[in-house]
Structure 1
Amino acid sequence: MPSNASAGGRRAALLGAAASLAALRTAAAEAQTSQPQTSRPLAAAPQQAAAPGAGLERVAAFEAQVTGVAVSKDGRMFVCFPRWEKDVEISVAEVGRDGSLKPYPDAEWNAYRNAAPRDLANHFICVQSVTVDPQGFLWILDPAAPGNEFNMPGGVKMLKVDLGSNKVVQTVAFDSASAPQGSYLNDVRVTPDGRWAFITDSGQRGAIVVVDLSTGRARRVLDGAGPTQPEPDVIVKAGGGELRRTDGRPTLFAADGIALDAEGRYLYWQALTGRTLYRLPVASLTDESIPPTRLASAVEKVGTTCVADGYWMDRAGNLYVTSPEDDSLKVRRPDGRMDVLVQDRRLRWPDSLAEGPDGAIYVTSSQIQDMARYHERGATPQQAYALWRVQPAR
């Protein structure tokens, strides 16, 4: 999920606060509870019947709010828990077959706490997403913005982990040019050759961040351009009404869901506050000689989907789309047809997606509409946060 867009005065306050790392730490700590929220799996709860033929299966349940999910070629499962409204004991975990959690890649990377900060560059601060690339490496994206507020300078990063050795083999650090205050790096996809990574920035300006993985150099494209922005005629609805902060501000979420086709030819994305699916050739995104205005004019409107948080594209070109407004997971076929794969009240804000080695689709439910920022009386979670699996019909 992205951070919420803010008014100019609020943004100015954020920029002023960014001047001091100590102030940022204090603000982040004060914005959240100091006691960590445990991330152990919960006991099984009564299950509501899934939609006919959907085969929705709960893989694991958590007390901490979960967002990202990744599945390796041999079926290993990984999830992440951002520091949004509470501290967390584990930021990134490997999920056991019994639903248990193991800090990943080790306990030290997960040792940061709001009340006991550690070295920002070598610890997880607020991990938003995880993904396994076509070569089999796990990537961990840390926008380092606890509470969706301030980016903590020196902490915004992306890690490449070798799943054979369980060691970090590359760190990409993002500076204020690629991840300025007000940005929130949201989700990432890596090309099949492992050369390029693309990240959606769902924050105040909206952008795509292009990373040359051979050098670690990152640059922003489509920064503030229409295709990465919230759509003005779309109001996100979830939980029975419009999704607004307690002060009445609407949820203006910029570029969020992201996908690459199997050949790595096209990048697809969408603003969460929006229903338009966009794409650009990877060759254009990686060509620095193309002027920003020309790049923006080359963006193709592929079609209309729904208010969506997570994307995943399989090898056949089917685009799986989470639909938080109606608790469903949908699939957009190559011919543009949208089908409901599964609709179930247990998928309360389906968030991120991954594909298993057998073609099963994994999805997290993060219950974003129940967060305290949207309720005068505080957070109102309806059930355990969870990881789900569904086997699409082929």
Structure 2
Amino acid sequence: MKTVRRNLICASIAAACLGGAAQAEDRGGKAEIFARLPQSVGNIAFTPDNQLIFSHHPFYEPDLRVARLTSPTTFEPFPNAEWNAPRKGTDQYLDNVLGLRSDESGVVWIIDMGFRTRITPKLVGWNTRANKLERIYYMPEPVTVAGSQPQDIVIDQKHRKFYIADENIGPGGDGSHAAIIVIDMDTGAARRVLDGDRSTVPENIPITVDGNDLTVPGKDGKQSVIKVGCDGITMDVNSEWVYFAPLSGRSLYRIKAADLSNEKLGSEELSKRVERYSDKPNNGGLSIDYAGNIYLTAVESKSIGIIGADRKYRTYLNDPDMVWPDGITASPDGYMYVSASQVSAAAMFHNGKAENKTPYLIYRFKPEAAGYISR
């Protein structure tokens, strides 16, 4: 396992944050508040030099889509203000962002879902070492479909592919066409696979937080239970298995990366190669450590779960203020970080009365083994 140099600025941020938070023991099972911010945090990415990059959760339609943490309570636009400013005549901006992840070269890959200003969904790579645009990959129809909401990503350097989870609950979507999008790093060619597969679509299971089933207006105008398709996605450090799951569902699935990246496999054959890996609760984000332990953000119970080599789910840690734990990722500092986006506290789920409130929290905790930033 290679050692990654820590960024001194971010180290000082961590020290300052620890001074104002409950101290965690240097072992798993405990979490501490790392940052307290004025807007909801969606997903988190760490660069190899330990810069913390995060999305402001698009559920709240933030003006600043993506940011870089500058202190435990402050941030700045990432990569800059211009890229966070939608404008006519170009698509060289970030429109609607949840998922992002850094690779080992310091390129932060940002998924722009595109439906806020109706531009073509794209994957934007920003090189943090050179401070310039690395590349844009586009996801036009039929790679994306009506209701597409591509929002989590795995970077597979071994097979030269990106794997993106599309939960299919964007405008006009109901999760029934959830899928995985595969992008070839070299050619830019993109494919939509496992569309509507048993492993990607939501199960008919309500998301229940504090005794409240989350509902949204259905096509008939009546309230119906929200069902979310393929959401979390991660991959082991050997790039052998890709793990993924619908948020709404009790099953975690996996497929070999070699199969997922194989363009010769038809939809039926690919589906046959998907394996149900374990039980799970309704969960959002996924991450993994070098020992193969999988970490899940359990959105209903304000907790982080873990699935080990025995394939059995257990609660790893919880906190009463970890409302809707969302993005989860490893850092070069040996911790894992998780956002608490408070989505379930929004007004639309509480008869128009908002229960979400500042500050919005980023937690960190010690995993059972070190993790990998691009997973």
Q: Tell me the secondary structure at the aligned position of residue 94 of structure 1.
A: strand
Shift of residue 158 of structure 1? 0.7
2:6 is matched with none
| TM-score in terms of structure 1 length | 0.81
Residue 159 of structure 1 is aligned with which of 124, 146, 151? 124
Q: Percent identical across equivalent pairs?
A: 27
Task: Specify the code of the residue in structure 2 equivalent to 1:96.
Answer: T
Q: Which string of whole-angstrom CA distances, capped at 9 and with x for unpartnered residues, describes residues 252-286 of structure 1?
A: 10000100110111111000000201111111111
C-alpha distance in structure 2 between counterparts of 1:175 and 1:305, whole Å:
32
C-alpha distance in structure 2 between counterparts of 1:238 and 1:283, whole Å:
37
Unaligned runs of 5+ in 1: 1-42
Unaligned runs of 5+ in 2: 1-16, 370-375
Q: Which string of whole-angstrom CA distances, capped at 9 and with x for unpartnered residues, describes residues 276-332 of structure 1?
A: 011111111111111111111221011111111000011111101100111001111
Shift of residue 83 of structure 1? 3.4
Shift of residue 348 of structure 1? 0.4
2:213 is matched with 242
Shift of residue 50 of structure 1? 8.0
2:141 is matched with 176
Q: Which string of whole-angstrom CA distances, capped at 9 and with x for unpartnered residues, describes residues 337-365 of structure 1?
A: 33322110111000011101132010001
Q: Tell me the secondary structure at the aligned position of residue 361 of structure 2.
A: strand
1:138 is matched with 108
Write out aligned runs for 1:344-359 (5 A).
344-359=319-334
| 1:297 maps onto 2:272 in alignment | yes
C-alpha distance in structure 2 between counterparts of 1:239 and 1:166, whole Å:
44
2:150 is matched with 185
Residue 277 of structure 1 is aligned with which of 226, 231, 252? 252
Q: Tell me the secondary structure at the aligned position of residue 216 of structure 2.
A: coil
C-alpha distance in structure 2 between counterparts of 1:325 and 1:97, whole Å:
29
Task: Specify the code of the residue in structure 1 equivalent to 2:202.
Answer: P
How many residues matched?
340
C-alpha distance in structure 2 between counterparts of 1:331 and 1:228, whole Å:
20
| 1:257 maps onto 2:232 in alignment | yes
1:197 is matched with 162
Residue 342 of structure 1 is aligned with which of 317, 328, 331? 317
1:21 is matched with none
2:196 is matched with 224
C-alpha distance in structure 2 between counterparts of 1:119 and 1:77, whole Å:
31
Task: Specify the code of the residue in structure 2 equivalent to 1:243.
Answer: L
C-alpha distance in structure 2 between counterparts of 1:120 and 1:202, whole Å:
27
1:122 is matched with 92
Write out aligned runs for 1:206-221 (5 A).
206-221=178-193
Residue 107 of structure 2 contacts residue 134 of structure 2 at CA under 8 Å; is this kept in 1?
no
Task: Specify the code of the residue in structure 1 equivalent to 2:138.
Answer: A
C-alpha distance in structure 1 between counterparts of 2:113 and 2:340, whole Å:
20
Q: Which string of whole-angstrom CA distances, capped at 9 and with x for unpartnered residues, describes residues 81-132 of structure 1?
A: 143344x2311111124432111111100123xxxx4455211111111111
Task: Specify the code of the residue in structure 2 equivalent to 1:65.
Answer: S
Task: Specify the code of the residue in structure 1 equivalent to 2:191.
Answer: R
Residue 58 of structure 2 is aligned with which of 57, 80, 83? 83
Task: Specify the code of the residue in structure 2 equivalent to 1:209.
Answer: I
Structure-2 change in CA distance of 1:301 and 1:226 (3 Å): same
Residue 135 of structure 1 contacts residue 194 of structure 1 at CA under 8 Å; is this kept in 2?
no
Structure-2 change in CA distance of 1:315 and 1:374 (3 Å): same
Shift of residue 393 of structure 1? 4.7
C-alpha distance in structure 1 between counterparts of 2:354 and 2:367, whole Å:
33
Task: Specify the code of the residue in structure 2 equivalent to 1:364.
Answer: S
Residue 189 of structure 1 contacts residue 260 of structure 1 at CA under 8 Å; is this kept in 2?
yes
1:62 is matched with 37
2:78 is matched with 104
1:267 is matched with 242
Q: Which string of whole-angstrom CA distances, capped at 9 and with x for unpartnered residues, describes residues 137-191 of structure 1?
A: 2111110233xxxx7133x111112120121110011112111221111101111
Shift of residue 383 of structure 1? 4.3
C-alpha distance in structure 2 between counterparts of 1:215 and 1:53, whole Å:
41
Shift of residue 47 of structure 1? 6.9
1:22 is matched with none
Shift of residue 56 of structure 1? 2.0
Shift of residue 382 of structure 1? 4.5
Shift of residue 194 of structure 1? 7.1
Residue 85 of structure 1 contacts residue 372 of structure 1 at CA under 8 Å; is this kept in 2?
no
Structure-2 change in CA distance of 1:135 and 1:304 (3 Å): farther
C-alpha distance in structure 2 between counterparts of 1:300 and 1:279, whole Å:
5
C-alpha distance in structure 1 between counterparts of 2:147 and 2:93, whole Å:
21
Residue 50 of structure 1 contacts residue 343 of structure 1 at CA under 8 Å; is this kept in 2?
no
| TM-score in terms of structure 2 length | 0.85
Residue 59 of structure 1 contacts residue 99 of structure 1 at CA under 8 Å; is this kept in 2?
no
